[in-house]
Amino acid sequence: MQEGFYAIRRPPIMLNITPHTDDSGKMKHHSATEVGDVLKDKGDVVTLENTGTLYEARNLMMRYSISRLIIFQDNRKYPVGIITEKDIVRVLYRGTHGRRLDEITVNEVMSKNLVTGDKNESVIACAKKMIDRKVSSILIVEATVGNKSAIVGIITKTDIVRRYPSLSRKKYKVSDFMASNVYTVVPSALLHEAMLFMVNGNISRVVVIEKRKPVGIITMHDLLPIGTLVNPFFNRFEKDDFTLASPPAVAVPLPSGVRAKLFASDIMKTDLSIITKDRDLNEAATVMVERRISGLPVVEQNNADAANNEEILIGLITKTDITRALISDNPISI
């Protein structure tokens, strides 16, 4: 096992399986699945010591195809932070000041403001915390000796979306919650444009288009393998040198030789899953979970080119949007 890395083996969680009934003894619909019900179906939590490096964190995320790591200290007992692929990409874009990734510790980059919950909370309460605190995961903890918090699991937006069809009470269409303002690039765009949008626009993906038709997608996770390759290039620029637009409103000034760097077409995923705005939101949730993706480009028929059956991009639906839909469907106060 890699030094500084381990996976938590959680003890069995005892669940209350008493049926929920009303005063007449009839079964009630349990629309607020408890976190404990979710954790029992999940695997180990991948973690790293706070003395670990960004290079180790990057490699673990790639190896296990995950987007975050829990950071521990004090002999691997207590969580002190969380680091995401977005944190690593920000460092790559903004510059490492001449240091390699194996010279930067996760303690320098991780978020120390942890959002926590307990296993008796409802999934919907966790969803509301995620939206209110603008995070994509909740650490589930329990008190230990000395009143410190020990982690017993993690709830993510993937868990929320996986349970959306069973917890939702209203029929929503994709158009009810999709975002219409989508950051896009063309296949020939330099990769730094996509990186710029993600970092400065605080988003996790950009859609690659040709004549308004989606042909690919680039996510934060796609940037991890090539991070060390493009990093020296990004260290040469300040973010103010670029215009945040989609597509860029002006040509980006580039020094000689830079055009040999990576293009959007070099890294984009082309096995694209799409959906139309009139589809049921439950269907979007199911597709995201089954295909292990976090967003779907929304398309419609191009009326001006109906003969060629061209579908053009009109929006994007993400796990965050579906999490919002669940909260809208089940208003609670926490």
Q: What is the pLDDT of residue 307?
A: 58
**pLDDT band, very low/low/confident/very high, at 304 (cuts 50, 70, 90):** low
Q: What is the pLDDT of residue 200?
A: 86
pLDDT beyond 80 at 156: yes
Question: What is the rounded average pLDDT of the residues 119-134?
Answer: 94
- Does position 23 have pLDDT exceeding 80, yes or no? no
pLDDT one-digit tens code per residue, 158-179: 999 999 999 988 899 999 999 9
Q: Which of 125-129, 141-145, 325-329 shows the lowest per-residue confidence on average (mean pLDDT)?
A: 141-145
Can you give the pLDDT at residue 128?
A: 95
Q: Which of 238, 205, 229, 215 is nearest to 319 (CA)?
A: 205
The three-point CA angle 115-128-274 to 5° equals 105
Q: How many of the other CB atoms lie within 10 Å of CB of 267?
A: 18
Per-residue pLDDT, 58: 94
Q: How far apart are CA 195 and CA 222, in angstroms?
A: 11
Q: So what's the pLDDT on residue 53? A: 95
- Distance between CA atoms of 246 and 252, rounded to whole angstroms? 13
The SS3 of residue 63 is helix
- Please state which of the ranges 91-100, 125-134, 322-331 shows the lowest mean pLDDT: 91-100
Lowest mean per-residue pLDDT among 121-130, 257-266, 306-315, 322-331 = 257-266
Average pLDDT over residues 254-261: 44
Position 204 scores a pLDDT of 94
Give yes or no for residue 261 having a pLDDT over 50.
yes
What is the length of the chain?
Answer: 334
To 10 degrees, the CA torsion angle through 28, 31, 35, 38? 90
Q: Does the pLDDT at position 6 exceed 80?
A: no
Q: What is the pLDDT of residue 32?
A: 58
**Higher per-residue confidence, 236 vs 213:** 213
pLDDT higher for 253 or 329? 329
Per-residue pLDDT band for 196 (boundaries 50, 70, 90) equals confident
Task: Judge whether residue 235 has pLDDT over 60.
Answer: no
pLDDT over 70 for what percent of the chain?
75
Cβ-based neighbours of 228, under 8 Å, separated by 6 or more: 100, 101
Q: What is the DSSP string of 136-164?
A: SEEEEEEE-TTS-EEEEEEEEHHHHHHHH
- Looking at the predicted structure, is the pLDDT value of residue 62 above 70? yes
Average pLDDT over residues 1-12: 34
Percent of the chain beyond pLDDT 90? 52
pLDDT band at 323 (very low <50, low <70, confident <90, very high): very high
Strand order, beta sheet including 205-210 = 184-185, 205-210, 213-219
Cβ contacts of residue 77 below 8 Å, gap of 6+? 144, 148, 150
Tokens of 124: 């919907």
pLDDT above 60 for 51: yes
